[in-house]
Chain A
C-alpha cells in the first residue's frame, strides 16, 4: 500500500461546444488520447472511474466503454459537483494504492446545459431574488466581498485575475477562448453580480479529459520517462462553520484539503512551482491564494498586483487560462487541471511553459460541497 501511483498518460479535448457529440463520444475520445499517451490499450485497463455531473445518472462510464472497447472491467460513475473529475481521479488512485490494480482509467466528461447554474430552491414560491440570490455568480461575489470587507480587496484586484487568466489562454490552443481582455474591458463588461462582471465568470462549455493511472510496478515496466508521480490526493467535505449553509463556505473545505495534501506529500506550499486552481469566478481565485497557502491571509490582493501569480512570477496560477478562459465543463475540469500540470512537469507546455517546474498543484471546489487538492512531480 505504500507504493507510489503514477499518471502514465493524460490528455483532454479542446473545450468548446459539442452539440453533435454524446457524453460517451466526448469521454471516449479523451480516454483514447490518454491511452495513446500512456502507450497502453483498453485491454490493459483493469478498472474505470467516470466523472460527470450532468451525465452521471445515465451510466456514462459504461457508455464510454462501449465507445472504446467493452472488456467487462468494473466501471463506476462519480458525481461530486465541480470536484467530480478530481474525485474520479482520486478513486482510480485509491484503487491502485490499495493494490487491487496496476492500470486504471479516470475520465471526466461534461455537456453543459445552457444558462446560469444554481437555480433557487422551490417551496411554494420561487425564492430567488426574494431571500437574496442562490446563483453561483452571487454566491462567489459574496465570498469575495467578505474578503473585501476584511482586507480591503478591491473590484480592480478581482478584475485583474480575469485579465491574467485570459492572457494565459492566448498561449493555450485547447482553451475555448484565446483573446486578451484588458482591465477596462473586464471591469466594463456586463455586471452580473457585483463585483463579478461577465468576463469574471467561468465559461460554460462542453469538454472531456482522461488520465491513465498505474502502479509503481507497471510504471517501471513501461518506462518512467514521461511518468508523473502523484505526491498527494486529498478530498474534503464542508467542516462545520457557523454561517454555512446560509453562506456556502468555499474557504474551509479548500483549506482542509490543501493541508491534508501538503502533509501527505511532506512538502511546504513554497515548494509548489505552479498551480491550477478553481477560478470559477475571479473573486474565487484570490480567496484560494490564501486557502492554498500561496500567501499569508490578507495578501491575495498584493499577489495579483505584483504579478506573482502570472506566468514568469514566483508561482504562476492558471497558466492554462483557467476556468475563466479555458472553460469549465464541470466533470472534466478536475482532470483537465492535471493535464496542464503534467504538460509543465514534462516540459511540453510550449509558449506558456513554467520554466523549471518541479511540483504542480491542482485544486477544485464544488458547492455541495467538496474540494480536492492533488500534488504532482515528475517521476
Chain B
C-alpha cells in the first residue's frame, strides 16, 4: 500500500512553526529583561535568567535594518540575492532573502517597511526528498 497523502512541509529553521498548515515564526521573550531571540537557549542570553523566557508568535511586519547584495556565494547557490537584516515591529531581528525588489542599492532604502511571506524553500529538498517551508521578506507597499 502506498501512502499518497502529501507530506507536510518541514520548517527550514527550527523557529518556523506550523499552526495546522499555516507557518509562523516563534520568538522567545524574556520577562525579566525584555530580550527577544529566535533561537532557544538554556537561559536568557540577555540577563542569564532561568525560567524567564516564554515563546510567542512573532509579527510579520518590520523594517529593513541592513543588507548586502550578494553576487558571489558558494557553488550552486543562485545569485544575485539580497541578504537582509530585518527588525520586526516587536523588536525581534531576523535574517532572510529580500525578494520582489531590484538588487540595487537605490531600491533598498534602510528603514523601508517590509513584510514576511512564507513559501517553498526555493525547491530545496533533503536526502529523503522532503520539501521545506521558509520565510522571505518583500517590500510592504
Interface size class for chain B?
A: 35 or more
- A114 CB, nearest partner CB in chain B, Å: 12
Contact in complex: B68, A240 (CB < 8 Å)? no
Contact in complex: A128, B73 (CB < 8 Å)? yes
Contact in complex: B111, A149 (CB < 8 Å)? yes
Q: Does A131 contact B (CB under 8 A)?
A: yes
In-complex Cβ contact of A135 among B13, B74, B87, B135 (8 A): B74
Contact in complex: A141, B77 (CB < 8 Å)? no
Q: Does A270 contact B (CB under 8 A)?
A: no
Q: Does B67 contact A (CB under 8 A)?
A: yes
Contact in complex: B65, A247 (CB < 8 Å)? yes
Interface of A is mostly: loop
In-complex Cβ contact of A125 among B45, B46, B91, B124 (8 A): B124
By a CB distance below 8 angstroms, the chain A residues around B127 are: 124
Stretch from A35-43, A69-77, A115-123 contacting the other chain:
A115-123
In-complex Cβ contact of B93 among A129, A194, A247 (8 A): A247
Contact in complex: A192, B85 (CB < 8 Å)? no
Contact in complex: B78, A129 (CB < 8 Å)? yes
Q: Does B130 contact A (CB under 8 A)?
A: yes
Contact in complex: B71, A192 (CB < 8 Å)? yes
Contact in complex: A129, B77 (CB < 8 Å)? yes
Contact in complex: A131, B35 (CB < 8 Å)? no
Interface string of A125-164 (1 = CB under 8 A from B): 1111111110101110111011011100001000000000
Q: Does B117 contact A (CB under 8 A)?
A: no
By a CB distance below 8 angstroms, the chain B residues around A245 are: 39
Within 8 A of A (CB), among B37-95: 38-39, 45-47, 65-74, 76-79, 81-85, 87, 91, 93-95
Contact in complex: A131, B71 (CB < 8 Å)? no
By a CB distance below 8 angstroms, the chain B residues around A132 are: 68, 70, 81-85, 95-97
Contact in complex: B95, A131 (CB < 8 Å)? yes
Within 8 A of A (CB), among B109-134: 110-111, 121-122, 124-128, 130, 132, 134
Which residue of chain A lies nearest to B67 when distances are taken between CB atoms in the complex? Answer: A145
Contact in complex: A142, B122 (CB < 8 Å)? no
Contact in complex: A194, B45 (CB < 8 Å)? no
Taken together as a complex, chains A and B put the C-alpha atoms of A337 and B128 apart, in Å, by: 48
- B31 CB, nearest partner CB in chain A, Å: 16
If A129-B81, A195-B105 are given as contacts, then 17 extra A-B residue pairs at C-beta distance below 8 Å, sorted by A number, are A123-B12, A127-B12, A129-B73, A130-B121, A131-B12, A133-B73, A145-B67, A146-B65, A149-B110, A149-B111, A150-B110, A193-B68, A194-B105, A196-B68, A240-B46, A242-B46, A247-B93
Q: Which 10 A-B pairs have the closest CB atoms?
A: A149-B110, A132-B83, A141-B68, A124-B126, A194-B69, A129-B77, A146-B66, A125-B124, A133-B83, A243-B93
| Interchain Cβ contacts under 8 Å between A and B, 27 examples | A116-B73, A123-B13, A125-B124, A125-B126, A127-B13, A129-B77, A130-B134, A131-B13, A132-B81, A132-B84, A132-B85, A132-B96, A132-B97, A133-B68, A133-B81, A135-B73, A142-B67, A145-B66, A146-B85, A146-B110, A149-B110, A191-B72, A194-B69, A240-B46, A242-B93, A243-B65, A247-B93
